[in-house]
Amino acid sequence: MPVSTKHTTQEELKAITKSFRRLMRPLKSKLEGNDQEMLTKAYKLAVEAHKSQRRKSGEPYVLHPLEVARIAHEEIGLGPTAIICAILHDVVEDTPVTLLEIKAKFGDKIAQIVDGLTKLDGTYNNAESPQAENLKKVLGSLLYDVRVVLIKMADRMHNMRTIGPMPRRKQLRIAAETSFIYAPLAHRLGLYNFKNEFEDICMKITEPDTYKELEEKIEETEAERNKYIKLFVKPIKKELIELKIPYRILGRSKSISSIWNKIKNKNVSFEEIYDLFAIRIIVDVRKEKEKNACWQIYSVITDVYNPIPERLKDWVTTPKSNGYESLHTTVIGPKGRFVEVQIRSERMDEIAEKGFAAHWKYKGGQDEANVYDSWLDGVRGILDQEDSNAIDIINDFKSNLFSKEVYAFTPAGDMKVMPEGSTALDFAFEIHTDIGYKATAIKVNNKLVPMGYKLKNGDQVHVTTGKNQKPNENWLKMVVTGKARSKIRSSMTEERRKKGEFGKESLQRKLKNMKVDFEENIDFVVKQLGFSSRPDLYYSMFLEESKISDLKIFEVVQNKLVLKEVKEAPIVPAAKTDTPPKRIRKKKREKEDAILVNGEPASMYQYSFSQCCNPVKGDDIFAYLTSTTGLKIHRTNCPNAEHIMANYGYRALKAEWSGSSEKNFLVELLITGVDSGPGVIQLITHEISVNQGIDIRSFSIAGDQGYFEGKVSIIVKDKKQLSHIIHSLNQTEGISSAKRLEKEI
């Protein structure tokens, strides 16, 4: 959001002009008709509209849309129409310029895209999550013009690259939203560089110490890595030259965030990760010769180095559902190290770099943009559910942003690409909504399976239907795709609505007998009985959970319902809130109070430490205002922080350690290692209790086939002491890994 201040200076105008020229330079060869005139008109309008606005950094605000336009063209590959929209993307939202003016000056198409890029007005301020409503609008724009989302990607990328001057709390919220939606969406649209950069910047915000440590280690090993790449390439260069196929070779380091994920998921150290980089071989051949050329290169590499068969990924024959094409293999290189090799054409490489936008450049006899059609149909199905709230829609949409896929077939041989983990029931909904609704039995490879059976590559699925079958709540536990979840919920909502009509009729009769108007009083009844909506009350009436006798708490005064005077008024549950937490009176401030919330002692509020991440003094933390249990203190890298910040960021409050606490903290550790028999327990307890002098609160351990896994709850004073214990355990012989245990709830 720009801040108003003095107008731009002459020096700043020079910088703005330079930025526009930098944008136009690579565009000029692609301009047609009146493109140049329209771009210049958009530039002048943006400069004038934003002239008194600045970013948090202090620079003129108009530099932001100009940079967004540059990213949209140079890094995504969008054309002049999209660039005009990128230049104008903030004028309607942040300046007096109206959408009608944009339409009059630039036409319907540009006005429509700019409208899609404009955040919602105050209409949804009282919604459960205004953030989710805004994201829902952005995602809805996918259905009429995908350029809206691609420009939004460029906008988010520039905001992330320049996030430094923002307050810490806002950084955390923006990072969570980016990690939750924008990074997986970038992956789904084939923008792999964007995905990696988004995830790296998010990690830099949420786990700065770990990021810096890994960054330093990667820099330290860069010279050795480059030397190894030359060693790897040397014996295959001669063979490649003999093929007489133009090629180039790159050695690319993996992103810091992907390396960190591997360290966490595989319980290994940085030194144990073998694939810190990948070799990429890119051939320059015509499209009809691409597949043959890629396999020839593969043959050369596997003649020199031994391949690992199970690591062969053939996305040349069967591209990913987002259009990604490449041949991946892992071979055993010099010194016995595993090396990932990616083989692709120049066309494939541009699609891998620029994703969806690059398809339009290369579509010919085969319309390659069609690779997105079935996915967009699924998105349309999710967004079309009128009764679903924005948070459900965002979560359903997120489940469609899958990175790993499984290929299954109908009895007729039609292939369906599904997210890894999809079930037989998901497949039924993928074929057609009605088949999903009516599914009674499912066979996979001619064998009857449960509806929750997880699909494997190559499975052939046959669905039997019955006209009387209906989805029920248990079905939601048996599906993972957003399409199936939204359709099941929609069916259940409709069924619930029909039943609720009977409850509504009962209520109408009762209020009529009380001689009060139904419409004038129903919302008061809903609120006082603790329901979030009319349909919820009607359905509860149908189930007889809320009996008509509950109306005895009301009386009629001047043709309106009011609460009877009773000793204890009915409690209204706070289902939704964005109000500040209530202060509680205390006779004396507790010495052990360790937290400040928005600069005030947390003891002034009802608060507790979240059990999903068990913060300890020294952790980076924030406070979350729950609906019913006051403030919860979470770590910023808590496994649930991303979901909270992305959907309910407006409820997150600044929290910090006061520095005066003598409080102790409970932490649970997960310890794995070699099962050497009864001595393992003594080994762990001796290291923690005797060597480190730490109290153990609880201990459980299980061993199998030479491997053990133990969970230990310990009491520590702060993060420094905890880090020392974890380091000590990791150095102990027989223990392969010790780390904090976190829970995703």
Q: What is the mean pLDDT of residues 642-661?
A: 80
Q: Is the pLDDT of residue 400 over 70?
A: no
pTM, to two decimals:
0.73
**Looking at the predicted structure, is the pLDDT value of residue 38 above 80?**
yes
| Domain-located, residue 368 | no
What is the C-alpha separation between 255 and 683, in angstroms, rounded? Answer: 37
Looking at the structure, do residues 163 and 302 belong to the same domain, yes or no? Answer: no
Section 23-33 average pLDDT: 87
| Residues in Cβ contact with 326 at an 8 Å cutoff, skipping those fewer than 6 apart | 313, 315, 316, 342, 343, 344, 348, 352
DSSP 8-state code for residue 9: P
Residue 570 has pLDDT above 70, yes or no: no
Taking each helix axis from N to C end, the angle separating 130-140 and 373-383, rounded to the nearest 10 degrees, works out to 140
Same domain, yes or no: 422 and 304:
no
Mean pLDDT of 608-623: 88
Residues 632 and 671 in one domain: no
d(CA 368, CA 74): 21
Q: 275 in a domain, yes or no?
A: yes
* Residue in 371, 379, 242 with CA at minimum distance from that of residue 297: 242
269 in a domain, yes or no? yes
**Cβ-Cβ contacts under 8 Å for 121 (sequence gap 6 or more):** none
Question: Are 129 and 185 in the same domain?
Answer: yes
Which letter, b or e, does each residue of 634-671 get, where b requires 16 or more Cβ atoms within 10 Å of its Cβ?
bbbbbebbbbbbbbbbebbbbbbbeeebebbbebbbeb
- State the first-to-last Cα distance of the chain, in angstroms, to the nearest integer: 33
Q: Identify the band that residue 20 occupies on the pLDDT scale cut at 50, 70 and 90.
A: very high
Q: Based on the domain organization, do 463 and 499 belong to the same domain?
A: no
* Closest to 348 (Cα-Cα) out of 311, 317, 302: 317
The CATH number of residue 173's host domain is 1.10.3210.10
Confidence of residue 545 (pLDDT cuts 50, 70, 90): low
Q: CA-CA distance, 157 to 564, in Å (whole number)?
A: 57
* Average pLDDT score over residue span 125-139: 64
Per-residue pLDDT for 441 more than 50? Answer: yes
From 11-25, 485-499, 585-599, 731-745, the region with the lowest mean pLDDT: 585-599
Burial of residue 34 (CB within 10 Å: 0-12, 13-18, 19+) is exposed
CA distances from 292 to 345, 515, 683 (A): 11, 82, 58
**Tokens for 453?**
């059976």
Which residues lie closer than 8 Å to 475 by C-beta, 6 or more apart? Answer: 425, 451, 488
Separation between Cα atoms, residue 212 and residue 618, nearest integer Å: 18
Domain boundary among 172, 205, 238: 205
Give bridge partners of residue 283 from the DSSP assignment. 247, 345
Q: Are residues 336 and 429 part of one domain?
A: no
Q: Look at residues 162, 181, 205 and tell me which one is the last residue of a structural domain.
A: 205
The boundaries of the domain holding residue 456 are 404-480
Whether residue 377 is contained in a domain is answered as no
CATH of residue 463: 3.10.20.30
Same domain, 318 and 414: no
Report the pLDDT value the prediction gives residue 547, as an integer from 0 to 100: 59
156 in the same domain as 121: yes
pLDDT score at 571: 44
pLDDT: which is higher, 630 or 43: 43
**429 lies in a domain?**
yes
Q: What is the pLDDT of residue 111?
A: 92
Grade residue 256 by pLDDT with cuts at 50, 70 and 90.
Answer: very high
Task: Report how far residue 565's alpha carbon sits from residue 569's, in angstroms, rounded to the nearest whole number.
Answer: 8
Residue 367 pLDDT more than 60? Answer: no
The set of residues, in sequence order, having a beta carbon less than 8 Å from that of 173 and lying 6+ positions away, is 645, 646, 649, 652
pLDDT band at 82 (very low <50, low <70, confident <90, very high): very high
Question: Which of 227, 228, 229, 279 shows the shortest CA–CA distance to 254?
Answer: 279
Output the CA torsion sign for 259, 260, 262, 267: positive
Q: Is 327 part of any domain?
A: yes
Indicate whether 50 and 190 sit together in one domain. Answer: yes
Name, in order, each residue with C-beta under 8 angstroms of 653's C-beta and a sequence gap of 6 or more: 169, 597, 598, 622, 623, 624, 625, 631
Whichever domain contains 702, its CATH number is 3.30.70.260
pLDDT attached to residue 342: 94
Which one has a higher pLDDT value, 64 or 139? Answer: 64
Taking the alpha carbons of 22, 24, 28, 30 in that order, is the dihedral positive or negative? positive
Report the Cα 161 to chain-centroid distance in Å. 18
As a whole number of angstroms, the distance between CA 595 and CA 607 comes to 10
For 501-511, write each residue's pLDDT tens digit: 887 888 888 88
The residue among 458, 480, 502 that closes a domain is 480
Q: Is the pLDDT of residue 153 over 80?
A: yes
Instruction: Tell which residue, 312, 462, 485, 505, has the closest CA to residue 394.
Output: 485
Residue 346 has pLDDT above 80, yes or no: yes
Given a contact cutoff of 8 angstroms between Cβ atoms, the answer to whether 442 and 424 are in contact is yes
Top pLDDT among 528 and 160 is at 160
Nearest Cα neighbor of 353 from 491, 238, 195 is: 195
Neighbours of 176 (CB within 10 A): 25
Residues 448 and 495 in one domain: no
Q: Residue 369's pLDDT is what?
A: 45
Total number of domains in the chain = 6
Whether 689 and 714 have beta carbons less than 8 Å apart is answered as no
63 secondary structure, DSSP code: H
pLDDT of residue 122: 44
What are the C-alpha distances in Å from 29 to residues 25, 75, 350, 418, 549? 8, 17, 19, 41, 76
pLDDT at 362 (0 to 100): 57
CB 266 within 8 A of CB 231: no
* Helix, strand, coil in percent for the chain, rounding step 5: 50, 20, 30
Can you tell me the distance from the alpha carbon of 433 to that of 385, in angstroms, rounded to the nearest whole number?
13
Instruction: Look at residue 132 and tell me if it is in a domain.
Output: yes
pLDDT for 591 beyond 50:
no
Closest-CA residue to 159 (of 142, 145, 178): 178
Residues 6+ apart with CB under 8 A from 392: 486, 489
Task: Report the length, in residues, of the chain.
Answer: 745
Residue 607 backbone phi and psi in degrees, to 5: -145, 160
User: Do residue 171 and residue 101 come from a single domain?
Assistant: yes
Q: What is the pLDDT of residue 559?
A: 78
**Tokens describing residue 531:** 């329901």
Kindly indicate the confidence band of residue 368, based on its pLDDT and cuts at 50, 70 and 90. very low
Based on the number of CB atoms within 10 Å of its own CB, is 579 exposed (0-12), middle (13-18) or buried (19 or more)?
exposed
Say whether pLDDT at 133 is over 60.
yes
Q: Flag whether 125 is in a domain.
A: yes
Question: Angle 370-375-380 (CA atoms, 0-180°, nearest 5)?
Answer: 115
Q: What CATH number should be reported for the domain holding residue 287?
A: 3.30.460.10
- Say if residue 103 is in the same domain as residue 241: no
Comparing C-alpha atoms, which of 491, 489, 490, 431 is closest to residue 455? Answer: 431
Which of 15-19, 53-57, 316-320, 739-743 is predicted least confidently?
A: 739-743
pLDDT in the model for residue 67: 96
CB 415 within 8 A of CB 427: no
Check: CB of residue 132 under 8 Å from CB of residue 643: no
- What residues are paired with 86 via a beta bridge? none
Pick the more confident residue, 361 or 218: 218
Report which of residues 601 and 585 the model is more confident about: 601
Percent of the chain past pLDDT 90, that is, above it, reads 29
